[in-house]
Structure 1
Amino acid sequence: MLKGVSLFANIGVGELSLPSNFRVIAANDIDPKRCNLYKKLHPHTNVIVGDISKKTILNKLREFDCDFVISTPPCQGMSNLGRMEKMDPRNHLVKYSIDFIKTKKPKFIFHENVPNQNKTLINYRGKEVTISEFICKQLSKDYFIVNKNIKMDDYGIPQMRKRSIFLLTRKDISQAWDFPNPKNKILTLKDVINDLPTLDPIVSDANVQTEKVFPRFHKKLERALKVSEFHAPVTHPIRQIICMQQTPSGKSAFENINKFKPRRIDGKIISAFNTTYARMSWDKPCPTVTTHNRTISSHINVHPGRKVQTKDGIIYSDARVLSMYELMLVMTIKPSWKLSSAENTPFLRSVIGEGVPPEFVKLCFKAIPI
C-alpha cells in the first residue's frame, strides 16, 4: 500500500477512483467548507484545515510520511477564464508544495494545473521564472520529470479539458513514471448523457410559474429522479430560457434572430462572446467544466438539447445547464459517491469545476512503475 498526501485538496474529487493499492492518508485545503465535504467523501483521511503558507499547517502535514503527493494549486490566477494579474499571489502557492516535497521526498508526485502555468511568472531568487521552470529548478536534482500538456478527451474522459501535468519519480527508482497511452475512442456527450431523461428548467422569475411554461415539468422531473437524485434541473430566468429554446445544438443564442438574442432585464440585447449563451454539441465531448457551470451566460454551459415540434414551430428542449448528475458523468465521478443532493448544490457544482476527473487520475496512477 502506497500512502499519499493531497495538497490544495479541494473536496477530493481527483482521489475518488485511485487504484486500491494507493491511499491518501492526509489532505489539506484552506477552506473549511471544502474540507467538510472532503471528510464525507474520504472519511479515513486526516484532513488538515488551514493555510499551507503558515508554518503550523505545513508542519502538521510534515508529520505524515508519504510515498506520493497530489498537488493541485489554485489556477484562478492564471486561467484563461479568469482575470490574469501579473504576480497574482495565488500563483506563488506552488512554492509550498515544493517545500513539502523537498522535506518529505516522496517517491512519486502528481502535479496538475492549467496550461498557462507554463508561461505564468513567479518570483524566484529575485528573477521572474515560469511556474514550470520553478518546479524543474527545484526538483530536477532529485526527480525524473515528465511534463506534458494533455487533453482529457484523449484519455477517455468525455470532456475537452486541457491541463498541464507533471509526473515526477524519485531518482532512486529505476523506471520513471510516464503517461498512459491515449485511448483510441473519443467519448462524446451522445455517448454519455444521450439516454438520460429530458429536463425542463425551473423558472426563477417570481411572476412566472414554471408549470405554466412547462406543463410536463413534474412528470419529466419524476422520471429524471428515478435515474438519480442528482438529475434535477437548475433555476434560470425566463428571458434566458426563451432564447435558449430557439438555439440549436452547438450554436450560440447570439446567432438567433434579434427577437431571440440574449437580453438584459431592461430588454436591451447583451454584448458578449459567442461562447456564452451557447449549447454544447452532441457529437463532441463536453467543453471544460468550470466553476461557473450553473450559469447559462458563462462558457458553453447549456445542454445540447433536442429538436421539438410545437404548434408554434420548432424549439429545442433542455434550455438549461447540465444537471448535477450530468456534470458528474462528464467529470467521471461515480454516482455512488458519498454525498447527497441535500448538500449546497451551487457550492458543490463550483468545487467540482475545480477538480481533476478521477478516472484520469486513476489511469495515471495505474501507470506508476511499482
Structure 2
Amino acid sequence: MTGTSLFSSAGISETYLEDIGLNITVANELLFERANLYQAIYPKSNMIAGNILDDTIFKSILDNSSDNLDFLLASPPCQGMSVAGKNRNVQQMLNDERNYLVFRIIDFIKIKSPKFVLIENVPTFFKIELPFQNQQLKIIDILSILFKDEYNIEAEVYDASNFGVAQKRTRAIIKLYKKGLKWGSPIHSENISVEQAIGNLPSIEAGEKSKIKWHFARKHSKNHIEWMKNTPTGKTAFENEIFYPQKPNGEKIKSYDTTYRRIKWDEPAPTITMRNDAISSQLNVHPGRLKKDGTYSDARVLTPLELMLLSSLPKDWNIPNDTSELLIRKCIGECIPPLLIKKIVEQIDN
C-alpha cells in the first residue's frame, strides 16, 4: 500500500507502518525543523515542507501523491476551531486560517479519493464545531454529509495504554474506508507499566549521562533537585513537610498537585506533555527508588530515551545523532504513540 501523510511533524506516528506493508511516499509539515527531521528519518519519502493552505504547496502534495492512493494519514492542529468560551463570532472564525486546515483534508479526499483515511487528534476534536454550509457542524457530521455514500465512517476515542503502550494517552480517531472494503478494530492488550518499559535502564541524576544513547538527564536547579529527592514515588513535592516547592522568601508555591510529581512504577505513565523538560510541569518526574539515606533517586524529568520507550518508540529509533534534545521532547509531547497507529492500521483487510 502507498500513502500520503499530512501534518506529519517528525513522522513518529508512522514509525511502524513499513513493517505492515504501508509506505508513506509523500508527507507535508509546516515547521521546517520537524520537516527536516522527518526527511532524515524517512529519506525515501518526499517531504513537502510548507503551509498546506498555500495553493502551490497543496498542489505539490496532490501532484506527488499516487493517482491510485491507498491511504491518507492526517493529524490537523485543532487550535482556533471552536467558538466555545472565546466570545468569537462566525466571521472571526472565518478569518482564522487555522480553521481551514481540516478542510484541506476534505479537499484532498475529494480529489485523490484514497481507499482508506485515518484522521487523528485530541478527543475534544469530536466536539469542535466548524463553519460549514451556513451552520456550525461537528467534523463527523461534515464528513458524513460529504462522504457517506462513498465511505464507511467510524469515530472512536482510543487510550493507547489499552494497546501495548506504556502511557495513558487518549486520541480521537476517525476512519473512512471505501464501501465494500474492510477495516476492523484493534484488539485490547494488557497494560504495560513504567517499570516494564524503562525499569531496566540505569539510574542517573540531574546533569548525568549514561553510556546508553539518548539516556542522559537534564540539569535542574538545586532547589528542584532537593524537593524531588525528598519526594516518594507517585507523590508530589507539595506533600513534603519540609522540602516543598517554595519561593525564595520561604512562601509555599501555589500550583496544581500534578506538578512537581513523580510518576508511578506499577502502571502506565500519564500523558506526556510538550513541557516534559520541566520538573514544575505536569506528571513527568522519574518514579525514583528509595535509597538507604531515606531520599529517592533520579530527581529529574524523564530522559529522551525514557520518553521514547514510554511512547512505544524503539530503543534504536533512527534519528540523527545531532538531533536537538528539545526537538525530540516537543515531537514526543505532541505525538500519537506509533504502536497504537500500527495496531489500528494493521486491521485493514486489503
With the length of structure 2 as denominator, give the TM-score of the two structures. 0.91
Deviates more, 1:30-39 or 1:121-130: 121-130
1:32-69 CA-partner distances (Å, limit 9, x unpaired): 11110001000000010111111111111111122100
Specify the alignment match of 1:149 in structure 2: 157
Q: Alignment partner for residue 230 of structure 2, among 239, 246, 253? A: 246
Over 3 Å counting, the alpha-carbon distance change for 1:76 and 1:159 in structure 2 is farther
Which letter maps to 1:354? E
Deviates more, 1:30-39 or 1:289-298: 289-298
Over 3 Å counting, the alpha-carbon distance change for 1:20 and 1:290 in structure 2 is same
Distance between the aligned counterparts of 2:244 and 2:43, measured in 1?
48
Specify the alignment match of 2:2 in structure 1: 3
1:78–1:116: 8 Å Cα contact kept in structure 2? no
Specify the alignment match of 1:316 in structure 2: 296
Specify the alignment match of 2:103 in structure 1: 95
Specify the alignment match of 1:211 in structure 2: none
Over 3 Å counting, the alpha-carbon distance change for 1:89 and 1:262 in structure 2 is farther
Which letter maps to 1:135? L
Specify the alignment match of 2:341 in structure 1: 361
Distance between the aligned counterparts of 1:78 and 1:320, measured in 2?
36
The residue correspondences of 1:324-363 to structure 2 (distance < 5 A) are 324-363=304-343
Specify the alignment match of 1:268 in structure 2: 251
Specify the alignment match of 1:68 in structure 2: 71
Distance between the aligned counterparts of 1:139 and 1:278, measured in 2?
46
Is the partner of 2:278 in helix, strand or coil? coil
1:209-244 CA-partner distances (Å, limit 9, x unpaired): xxxxxxxx5xxx3xx32xx22000012111111111
Distance between the aligned counterparts of 2:78 and 2:205, measured in 1?
33
Specify the alignment match of 1:213 in structure 2: none
Instruction: Please tell me whether residue 106 in structure 1 is matched to residue 89 in structure 2.
Output: no
Query: Cα RMSD over matched residues?
Result: 2.0
Q: Alignment partner for residue 126 of structure 2, among 118, 137, 142? A: 118
Specify the alignment match of 2:136 in structure 1: 128
Specify the alignment match of 1:292 in structure 2: 275
Distance between the aligned counterparts of 1:341 and 1:319, measured in 2?
26
Over 3 Å counting, the alpha-carbon distance change for 1:366 and 1:56 in structure 2 is same
Deviates more, 1:134-143 or 1:299-308: 134-143
Gaps of 5+ in 1: 203-216
Specify the alignment match of 2:195 in structure 1: 190
Distance between the aligned counterparts of 2:248 and 2:132, measured in 1?
48
**Residue 315 of structure 1, CA deviation:** 0.9
**Residue 140 of structure 1, CA deviation:** 2.2
**Residue 84 of structure 1, CA deviation:** 7.7
1:13-38 CA-partner distances (Å, limit 9, x unpaired): 01111134210000001111111000
2:20–2:346: 8 Å Cα contact kept in structure 1? no
1:117–1:132: 8 Å Cα contact kept in structure 2? no
Instruction: Please tell me whether residue 31 in structure 1 is matched to residue 36 in structure 2.
Output: no
Instruction: Please tell me whether residue 200 in structure 1 is matched to residue 199 in structure 2.
Output: no
Which letter maps to 2:182? A
Distance between the aligned counterparts of 1:25 and 1:193, measured in 2?
33
2:234–2:262: 8 Å Cα contact kept in structure 1? yes
Distance between the aligned counterparts of 1:121 and 1:297, measured in 2?
34
Distance between the aligned counterparts of 1:347 and 1:175, measured in 2?
39
Specify the alignment match of 2:184 in structure 1: 178
Is the partner of 1:241 in helix, strand or coil? helix
Distance between the aligned counterparts of 1:252 and 1:75, measured in 2?
31
Which letter maps to 1:151? D
1:92–1:122: 8 Å Cα contact kept in structure 2? no
Over 3 Å counting, the alpha-carbon distance change for 1:235 and 1:126 in structure 2 is farther
Specify the alignment match of 1:209 in structure 2: none
Distance between the aligned counterparts of 1:161 and 1:329, measured in 2?
14
Distance between the aligned counterparts of 1:237 and 1:138, measured in 2?
54
Q: Name the % identity.
A: 36
**Residue 337 of structure 1, CA deviation:** 2.4
Distance between the aligned counterparts of 1:308 and 1:76, measured in 2?
44
**Residue 265 of structure 1, CA deviation:** 5.0
Distance between the aligned counterparts of 1:351 and 1:198, measured in 2?
24
Gaps of 5+ in 2: none
Distance between the aligned counterparts of 1:77 and 1:229, measured in 2?
38
**Residue 338 of structure 1, CA deviation:** 2.2
**Residue 267 of structure 1, CA deviation:** 4.3
Over 3 Å counting, the alpha-carbon distance change for 1:191 and 1:298 in structure 2 is same
Distance between the aligned counterparts of 1:322 and 1:139, measured in 2?
43
Specify the alignment match of 1:306 in structure 2: 289
With the length of structure 1 as denominator, give the TM-score of the two structures. 0.86
